[in-house]
Every structure is written in structure tokens, then in C-alpha cells.
Structure 1
Amino acid sequence: MARIGFLGTGEIASALLRALQGQGHSFLISPRNAAVAAALAELPEVRIAPNERVVEGSDIVFLCLLARVAEDVLPGLPFRQGQSVISVMVDAPLAMLRRLCAPATDIAITIPLPPIVDGGCPLPVYPPSPVLEALFGARNPVLAVPDEEALQAHLGVSALCSPILDQLQAAAGWLAGFTGDPAGAEAHVAAMIRCYLPARAQGGELAEALRKLSTEGGLNATLRAAMAPAKADLIRGLDSFRPRLGLTRGTGDPE
């Protein structure tokens, strides 16, 4: 099993560590967020250590810092050849990480989400990382992407979670207006959507699920047609991220 270190102890670091606990790994964590670090240190396989000791005592180091903080924290730490570095700092490009973490060369960037604790969380990564796959691939789809721009596009589309949940909450509220049971309405809507989503969708599975819900004149098809203009709004919203994320390619046109 691996010796794993975390520089930075925020929400994502906590989620990653808890997703890996109980598998025989040992963990060294920095005390940057004292409250989170103290809570994690209650786990038997976790110890708090200074940044230098975290890097020195780890085979795999997760970088969970802000990019501007990393510029101050990482230089001078004892990174080494043969050590794996995985960054969740999507605002820190690979060239910057190679400079800050030299002489380590096995460096990758990924975008985890807090639900990784429960599994099923997509992990887009660049460059491909056998280490990330070995750690998380059994319970989470690890998706190697071709370059950093593609990784940034994955970050952009992650913003879909909030508007989709907002729509589901509105639908649950509508249902509760008839049933008088808000909790039951929410449970129904969440389970209904979940049962149509494949655990690890392959190419075309979403389209096939949609096809099965497209009976002409049916309730699903009728509501879909009524909401069709929202697709253009979605693409416009995603396209608004282009300058912020440095996205230069892609058509941005809805089907």
C-alpha cells in the first residue's frame, strides 16, 4: 500500500483522503486548515506533519492548494525523482507544476468533486496517471483527456451540477404541492433521475436513455419540447467560461 501526502487540507483534500481510508494506505497531511486537519487526524492511519515531512515521507503527494499559495509553499520542498504528484489545482498549469515540483516528473492534474467519498465521481486527468487509476479507478471513472484545454472544459461543464439540481428541486417542489410531502417528493425525483443514469456511461448511452423517453405525444417528449430553448441558454452559459478557462476551440452549438 502507498504512503500518501496531502499539501492543503480543505474540502477536496478531506474527500480524497476519506475515499482512500481503510485500504491500507498511510497518510501525512499538512496542518494548513487546522480544523479539517484535526478531524482527519482522528483516523488511525493519518498523521499531521510539516510540509517538508509530508513531501519527504510520501510516495504520492496530492497538491490541494490555491495556485497563488503554491508559488510560496512548494519551492524548496524535497520533491524527488520517482515520486508521483497529483494536483487538484486547476488554475495551476502543468508547466508551473513541473517547475515548482522539480525534480519530480510524474505529475498529473485532475478535477475531483466532493462526492468522491461515495464513489462514482468522474476524474478527468491530464496527463494520464496510472497512479490515479490505481487509487480511485475501482470506484470512480478515471477519464484521461488529450490536453490541458480539454481538462479546463471538463471543469467548465462541472458547473452543470448546480442548474440541474436547481431544476430537480423546482420539480420536487411542484410535486410536493400536490402530495403535501416535500421529503417524499424530493426522494421520488432524485431516485427517478438516478435510475436513468448509467453508473459509467459509455458512448451513446445517454442518447439511448433519451430515446426511450421520447414517445411522441408522451409526457416526457412534451416537457422536453417545452424546455428546448433552455439548451441554447445552457451553451451560452458554458461559452461564457471561455475567457476565464482559456478555451479556444469547440463549436459551442447545441444539437
Structure 2
Amino acid sequence: MTIGFIGTGVISEAMIRGLCDVAGYTDQIVVSKRSFDRSKRLSEAYSNITICETNAEVVDQSDWVFVGVLPDQVEMVLQALSFKTTQKVISLVAGVGLNDLKRYVYPCEHVIRAIPMPPIEFGKGPLAICPSDQAFETFANKIGVVVSINDEDQYNLFGAASALMSDFFAQIASVSNWMQLHGLDPAASARYASALYESLAFLATKESAESLSLMSDACQTPGGLNEQFFTFRQSCGIDQSLHDGLNQILERLKSNE
């Protein structure tokens, strides 16, 4: 099977590297010239990757086509191409709904939306898809944790939650910087903060949906350090600001569809 990428941005590159390095994908991959330096780097790193001169060549040669262009470019780029009924189109673009995508790639009817995250390069992290598709789920489970859903409104919740990424990294950096302000070596600060967040996130993946909400309480010994810090943060409205921020992103995603 040949897969193709229209738009070779950061997420497309992470996905391709995950497929080649983690999943051991050796079938043909064709990529567009958009972000040429990145496409060239990938073609030099992997013998099964070929750069196409045009997006039309990507579509013509691919069984599955991944779309990774900017949201305001999707309509123009896709409607200029000729898709086949036998193809599968996977959109990595935020804010462009299934109905519009199907209209842009007609007569192709096998259209999926997906949200891969950068850690997919290392076979880590969630990969939300809508609608459910067994063939693509089997394919994607090799490079991430697939969470599939058929309700597109609920799928937007995954899109909104993915906007936490910048805030997450900023929080780790802030903890590291705080330790440095108190005299700790920068390398030791960064190593400790990164390992702390990684290990706590790992524990969360081992919990059931029911027990996830109980993890915070389980850490809070009465009168202990965790309880003190948690109580202070709650008094600052940390939960409310989180929900308010996510609601803003959700409304933005809905308004774009």
C-alpha cells in the first residue's frame, strides 16, 4: 500500500518518522514538495520515501492520502485534485468538518479526521479519529493510542484538549525555572522537572476512567505538602481557568465548521 502526504509540516513529519522508526513501515510513502527542506530530509533518511513534484502526483500514486495543509488552504488545495472512489483520505487539519472534506474530495467517500500529536514520532500519545475505521485504527495503533469516535461534535473535544500542549510544556519549564531561581543547576532542574511530569503522566495511563479522578485525592495526606499546594492552586481558580480556556477553543473549532 502506498500512502501520500499533501503538506509535509511538523505533524506530518512526526507521523512519517513514527511509521518508519517505530512501526517498521516499509511500503512506499510519497510526500509533497511543500516544506521542501523537511521533505528532502525525510527522503534522505528513509529509502521508501519519494518527493513528488505536485500534489496531483501524490494523489495519483497513493491508496491513502494524508492532508496536512493549513485550514484556510484546504478547500483550494483539495478541490484542485482528482480523487478516486477507492481511496481513503485522512485529514490532519483542525477545524474543517467531514461534510466539507467529503465535498472537497468527491467522489472519494472514505474520509477520516485525525489528530496526531508530536510524540507520535516515538510511538507515544493519543491519536483521535472520526469516524471509526477499522483499517485505519489497526494502522494507527502501531504509532499511538487510537481513540475513535463517530460523533463529530464530541471529536472536537479532543481537538480542544490538544491545545493544552503549549501550556503543559510551559508548566514544566516554569517548575524548572523556579528551581534554578533557588540556585539549582539548569541541567539538573530540567532533568528533574521533565522526569517528574513524564512519570506522573505514565501513572495516569495505568488508571481506569473511574479511578482517574481519584488520583489527586490519593496523593493528599491531610496536612501534607501535596494538600497544601493543591489547596492553594484551587484557590487561584486553576480548574475554572482550565475549563474556560478549553471552552474558548471548543467554540472556535465549532465556529470554523
| Fold shared per TM-score above 0.5 | yes
The structure with higher relative contact order (CA 8 Å, sep 6+) is 2
Q: How does 1:1-255 map to 2 (within 5 A)?
A: 2-21=1-20, 22-42=24-44, 43-49=46-52, 50-198=54-202, 199=205, 202-228=208-234, 229-246=237-254
Superposition deviation, residue 200 in structure 1 = 6.1
User: Which amino acid letter does the alignment assign opposite residue 147 of structure 1?
Assistant: D
> SS where residue 200 of structure 2 aligns?
coil
Superposition deviation, residue 76 in structure 1 = 4.8
> SS where residue 138 of structure 1 aligns?
coil
Give the stretch that moved more between structures: 79-88 or 205-214. Answer: 205-214
User: What runs of 5+ residues in structure 2 fail to find an aligned partner?
Assistant: none
CA–CA distance in structure 1, aligned partners of residues 254 and 198 of structure 2: 33
Superposition deviation, residue 201 in structure 1 = 5.2
8 Å CA contact 1:179, 1:185 repeated in 2: no
> RMSD of aligned C-alpha atoms?
2.0
Question: What is the CA deviation profile of residues 70-121 of structure 1, one whole-angstrom value per residue up to 9, with x for unaligned ones?
Answer: 2222225232122111001122211111111122111100111222101222
Going from structure 1 to structure 2, the CA distance change for 1:168 and 1:67 (only over 3 Å counts) comes to: closer
Superposition deviation, residue 148 in structure 1 = 1.9
Give the stretch that moved more between structures: 207-216 or 85-94. Answer: 207-216
Identity %: 29
Partner of 1:251: none
8 Å CA contact 2:18, 2:143 repeated in 1: no
Superposition deviation, residue 129 in structure 1 = 2.3
Give the stretch that moved more between structures: 224-233 or 131-140. Answer: 131-140
CA–CA distance in structure 1, aligned partners of residues 129 and 38 of structure 2: 26
Superposition deviation, residue 5 in structure 1 = 0.4
CA–CA distance in structure 2, aligned partners of residues 27 and 187 of structure 1: 36
- Runs of 4+ in structure 1 deviating by more than 6 angstroms, as ranges, are none
User: Which amino acid letter does the alignment assign opposite residue 49 of structure 2?
Assistant: V
User: What runs of 5+ residues in structure 1 fail to find an aligned partner?
Assistant: 248-255
Going from structure 1 to structure 2, the CA distance change for 1:180 and 1:160 (only over 3 Å counts) comes to: same
8 Å CA contact 1:153, 1:245 repeated in 2: no
Question: What is the CA deviation profile of residues 157-184 of structure 1, one whole-angstrom value per residue up to 9, with x for unaligned ones?
Answer: 2222222322222222222344521211
8 Å CA contact 2:94, 2:253 repeated in 1: no
User: Which amino acid letter does the alignment assign opposite residue 221 of structure 1?
Assistant: E
> SS where residue 197 of structure 1 aligns?
helix
> SS where residue 209 of structure 2 aligns?
coil
